[in-house]
Structure 1
Amino acid sequence: MKTLAAVLRQEREPRPYASSRPLRLEELDLADPGPHELAVRIEAAGVCHSDLSVINGHRPRPLPMALGHEAAGVVTAVGSDVQDVREGDHVVLVFMPSCGACPACAAKKPTLCVPAAKANGAGSLLSGARRLVGGRGESVHHHLGVSAFAEHAVVDRSSAVVVDPDLPLDIAALFGCAMLTGFGAVRNTAAVKAGESVAVIGLGGVGLAAVLGAKAAQAGPVVAIDPVPAKRALALELGASHAVAPEDAVAAILEATGGLGVRWAFEAVGSTGAMRQAFELAGRGGAAVFIGLPPSTAELTLPAVSFVGESKSAIGSYMGSANPQEDIPFLVGLWRAGALPVEKLKSHTIALADLNEAMDRLADGAAVRQIVLPHSALPHGGLS
């Protein structure tokens, strides 16, 4: 079948992207799903820094590539070996498939699946196949096994989590990356306990999801850190006890913790500066949890003596150490109970044609989560 998709053919195009237009809408041929795959009509997709990091060259990927990795949609076809998903099922798509057989999968750590990581790096589906073909007859790579900035996609079965059809798909999309990554870092990676102090650096969709996770864990105090006043205000609305600019973080945390520093400092920016700050804000016996993806060439220097002399830790958290097939239903349950106002993370609703402008807003820190509606009648430049 034919599908319209946002394709990147050249990274590191100059900003503003509204002018250089690195993402171009192209009509691609989309093959039928393989034996362990699904065809999905994409109904909503979130715009994330992991998309921007491919465009700006921070995370090099094979090109051309159809971008987008956080999404929800409706299954339109199932492969011959798929027994537990049917046409018409509503699904949340996740950016890390899992083979189910490697040591990581056997240990119920699917985010560390080695074959999946290899496939994502190669721009293929988990089977090694690519189902997208461009107008010149060339293979177009998949982004993190999803390629959601499109009308339709083919994904591995393990990249999809079935959800109830009454869950609004524009909200459902946020569970596939932002909520898994941010909330999961708090719940799974750190296992934050009630009464433990928390700082969150960077209040995009992932950082605010970490704030929601800290609130759900009954942590306190919860200090939210970001240079953008509107994001700080939203963090307070979502449950942070304090919200400050980065330059005020040290003083605010010392005051909030009685001079101790926080037990957990979550970094959700993807910069070495923010990672260093997270480590500095952690108190004795505390830990910095790194959620954001920095450029692939970046290196981080931390004071070695603090690991022993202060018993500090630095922990990486990929996709919130999640098991999506279990964690997404859990998170949806919290949303249904009114304990997880995920819809408040949506800052813009856009059409596929607005993706370059959306990347400018993301790079400028002017958006939380922008939701693409591939089949909408939104005019170019339309915002909710």
Structure 2
Amino acid sequence: MRAAVLHEIGNDKLDLRDDVTVAGPGPGEVRVRVRASGICHSDLSAMTGTLPAMAPGVVGHEGAGEVVAVGDGVDHLQPGDHVTMSFVPPCGHCPDCVRGELNLCAVHVIDAFTTARFRIGDQQLFGFSGLGTFAEELVVPAPAAVKVDPDVPFETAALIACGVLTGVGAVLNTAKVEPGSTAIVYGCGGVGISVIQGLRIAGATTIVAVDPVTAKHDVAKRFGATHAVTPDQVEETKHQLTASQGFDYAFDVVGAPATIRAGWDHSRRGGSVVVVGAGKADAMVEFSAQELFLHDKKILGSLYGSAHVERDTAAMLRFWRAGMLDLDGMISRRIGFDDLNAGLETLRDGSGDVIRQVVTFG
């Protein structure tokens, strides 16, 4: 089958092959035919080593498809079911799951670094984040396949799998934004647009989108931002909109020390700074001990939007059906498998108004 293989961390292109195989499903697993996969910035981060990934391996982690086979012990799914795929599937039994923090479950995540599900001949290949959605088929633990209604387009379902759950979840689950709040969002890519939409759903009345690429400003406003500015305009915007007090919530969707620090500096005393972006392990952010206690601000990490994947996937689809969440409008380009590297380069360039590119499989 076709699959996009990363042979070594640091390679800037994927090897698009047609001789990759996948084994299974075994007990507790399902085999899924991938129909659509979003190209997410985390895929680039896996290629560069910013996020942990195993090589050689198949990249891609934001996908949806159709179940083609189920292993022993799987009774909630059957061939023909449409599913999205979660890269943080809950085991249901570990301390994190028992506490209700399903997005922190590491059981299947750890297994993804020890179990190679793909092969080229005798060579083993891992799936990025336990998935590998840049392949025509893949085998995943059953909790990673989240059933959706058959009338939901595969492209729409794919977006929910990562970017939308991460962004909207950061607003509703992590920050628990209150109606009437003010917010500032750093980064207007796919996850940033999802944060903006989440803020609109939550009833925020002031939503400032920040991005150095001015082509993204009108896009951000289309999805709910009330204002869109470049980083050098933030201070004046804060003065005009908050009388220099700062915003109730600041969302960093970049994962860089400068934007995290900016979120802190431009949130009000007693406000919340929500770190959504995936930063580098050695990227350090500096705060003084005095300002940490004196300003009474909250710094909140948000992994996968603090999501309960079954519950929140269903919620996103209800928002979509009610016209409150524009998923279809987030798809900037639909491309074929052969154009995958070009799509990654477009994302890497970051200079246009592309929100999400989706790879579709026939």
- Normalising by structure 2, we get a TM-score of 0.96
- Please tell me whether residue 148 in structure 1 is matched to residue 140 in structure 2: no
Q: Which moved more, 1:185-194 or 1:353-362?
A: 353-362
The 3-state SS of whatever aligns with 1:288 is: strand
Residue of 46, 66, 72 corresponding to 2:64? 72
Kept after mapping to 1: 8 A contact 2:182/2:206: yes
Alignment partner, residue 55 of structure 1: 47
Which residue of 87, 91, 94 maps to 1:99?
91
Match of 1:380 in 2: none
Aligned partner of 1:355 in structure 2 is 340
Whether contact under 8 Å (2:2, 2:16) holds in the other structure is no
Contact 1:10 1:22 in 2 (8 A): no
The answer as to whether partners of 1:11 and 1:22 remain within 8 angstroms in 2 is no
Within-5 A mapping of 1:37-186: 37-120=29-112, 122=113, 124=114, 129-135=115-121, 137-186=122-171
Equivalent AA in structure 1 for residue 117 of structure 2: R
- Secondary structure, aligned partner of 1:148: coil
* CA 1:249–1:119: 2 relative to 1, 3 Å: farther
Q: Residue 8 of structure 1 aligns with which residue? A: 6
Give deviations 1:95-115, integer Å, cap 9, x for gaps. Answer: 111211001111221111132
Matches within 5 A, 1:247-326: 247-326=232-311
Distance 2:183 2:288 in 1: 21
C-alpha separation in 2, matches of 1:44 and 1:350? 10
Q: Could you tell me how far apart the structure 2 residues matched to 1:328 and 1:60 are?
A: 25
* Alignment partners' CA distance in 2, 1:261 and 1:23: 47
- 2: distance between equivalents of 1:225 and 1:25? 39
Partner in structure 2 of residue 223 of structure 1: 208
Residue identity in the other structure for 1:369: R
Distance 1:295 1:52, change over 3 A: same
CA distance in 1, matches of 2:237, 2:326: 26
Counterpart residue number, 1:212: 197
In the alignment, residue 96 of structure 2 is paired with which amino acid? A
| Superimposed CA distance per residue, residues 181-238 of structure 1 (whole angstroms, 9 cap, x where no aligned partner) | 0000000000000011111100111010000000001112111111122321111111
Distance 1:117 1:157 in 2: 13
Q: How much does 1:259 deviate?
A: 1.7
Gaps of 5+ in 2: none
Q: Give the length in aligned residue pairs.
A: 360
For 1:370, the aligned partner's letter is Q
Q: Which amino acid aligns with 1:11?
A: I
Identical amino acids, percent of aligned pairs: 38
Moved more, 300-309 or 149-158: 300-309
List aligned pairs for 1:228-243, cutoff 5 A: 228-243=213-228
Cα offset for 1:52? 0.3
User: Normalising by structure 1, what TM-score?
Assistant: 0.91
Match of 1:378 in 2: none
| Aligned equivalents of 1:10, 1:158: Cα separation in 2 | 29
Tell me the equivalent position of 2:355. 368
Q: CA deviation at 1:166?
A: 0.3
Q: More displaced, 190-199 or 298-307?
A: 298-307
CA drift of 1:26 comes to 4.5
Preserved CA contact (<8 Å) 1:186 1:210: yes
Structure 2 counterpart of 1:379: none
Matches of 1:100 and 1:257, distance apart in 2: 44
Structure 2: how far apart are the matches of 1:254 and 1:178?
Answer: 31
* 1:82 shift after superposition: 0.4
Large movers: runs of 4+ above 6 Å: none
Give the match's secondary structure for 1:174: helix
- Bigger mean CA deviation after superposition, 300-309 or 364-373: 300-309
Aligned partners of 1:46 and 1:369 also within 8 Å: yes
